Amino acid sequence: MTSRIVSVLGVTGLQGGAVLNMLLEDGTFVPLAITCNPDGKEATKLKQRGVQVVKGDFFDKASLVSTLRGSEGMYAVCPSHSFIERNLNVGRQMTVKNVVDAAKEVGVKFFHLEVGLFSLPSINEFSGGKYTKVLHYDHKQVVEKYLKSSGLPNASIHVGWFLENFWTCVTIHNSCAPQIDPRAIPRNPLLAKTPTGFDIPVTNYRATDVMGLTWIEHDVPAAVLALVKNYTDPSKGISGRTYPVITANLLLADVTAKTTKALGRQVTCTTGPLMGLGAMDEMYTVHTEYSGMFIATPIPNPDLVALGAKYGTVEEFLEREVKPRYGQ
């Protein structure tokens, strides 16, 4: 029996790695890990687990054509801030177009694009032209539209704030602040220790503002697996659709209350000042002004649940992921 191969681009990152793990666990498909550095530390770990790892570069269409041959489906994360030194804003569009074109050339049957990092439709379009500086969002919408017009069967997901930012680093990237030396940018987890417990400092967010939150390592792979398992059924109406994957819409005050309960220590929240950086300031302003941006979709997303996706909850996330890292 021929293996059903799903290629995963961005496999050494949070989202791609989680999708690969889900594919391995489920067993319906055989994941093929594509990375620009197949000899790197994370890629080597994948090889040790028996995963086939091959070289492919977003900027090199020929390498993608070679690696994608034989794949039934593929998953790719829209590049965000990892292309700083490579003409990012033009590069982001070019790289995903390369992937789409390569997939179409070799006959990939289903292309799944994750438009990540608190992703939304174009901020310019969404706000009716009120906010025009958030190019790292607007360019993602360009490539999503390119995929939808390609003729490839496809689906996209949008995600909110990464819940994993509780312990991973939050940075200001050169794509938003090219005048800043990235080595001088502070790298801080969202959950910060204080003498009495913890604080959640968020730029421009007040306790009464809504955050659209996504448990990336749990809910994203669940959504991807549900889509790739069902794309062949035309009655499901999957192709060409965009699916928000949001674990919860919560007031920042509710996030702190749930975290306090989980850790048994006081967790507060602090409103951080705007940064004086046009793109970043507008991004945070939009999220607070439009209540986290994802309130129109019921949670869990009923369309994904109908396909078999099983969502987690913020409470489960705190118990499973945050408490072991921060609990006493």
* E strand map for the chain: 5-9, 30-35, 52-55, 73-77, 110-115, 154-159, 161-162, 192-194, 197-203, 210-214, 241-245, 248-251, 266-272
Mind listing the pLDDT tens digit for each residue in 96-107?
A: 788 999 999 999
For the chain, the average pLDDT equals 86
**pLDDT of 203 above 60:** yes
3-state secondary structure 130-191: CCCCCHHHHHHHHHHHHHHCCCCCEEEEEECEEHHHHCCCECCCCCCCCCCCHHHCCCECCC
pLDDT score recorded for residue 173: 40
**pLDDT of 284 above 90:** no
Percent of the chain exceeding pLDDT 90 equals 57
Percent of the chain exceeding pLDDT 70 equals 86
Query: What is the average per-residue pLDDT within 72-80?
Result: 81
- 3-class DSSP assignment, residue 259: helix
pLDDT score recorded for residue 82: 43
Across 69-78, 83-92, 270-279, least confident range: 83-92
Of residues 94 and 263, which shows the higher confidence score? 263
Confidence of residue 80 (pLDDT cuts 50, 70, 90): low
- CA gap 245, 161 in Å, rounded: 11
- Write down the domain spans for the chain: 5-326
- 3-class DSSP assignment, residue 234: helix
pLDDT score recorded for residue 77: 82
Across 59-73, 187-201, 231-245, least confident range: 187-201
pLDDT score recorded for residue 169: 64
The second-level CATH assignment, the architecture, of 5-326 is 3-Layer(aba) Sandwich (3.40)
Token pair, residue 69, equals 């041959």
Across 31-40, 135-144, 209-218, 229-238, least confident range: 135-144
pLDDT score recorded for residue 303: 97
Residue 183 half-sphere exposure toward CB, CA atoms < 13 A: 0
- CA gap 204, 210 in Å, rounded: 12
Can you give the pTM of this predicted structure?
0.89
Mind listing the pLDDT tens digit for each residue in 172-200?
A: 443 444 444 444 444 567 888 899 999 99
- CA gap 45, 28 in Å, rounded: 22
Query: What is the average per-residue pLDDT within 135-152?
Result: 85
**pLDDT of 171 above 60:** no
Most confident among 195-204, 270-279, 292-301 (mean pLDDT) = 195-204
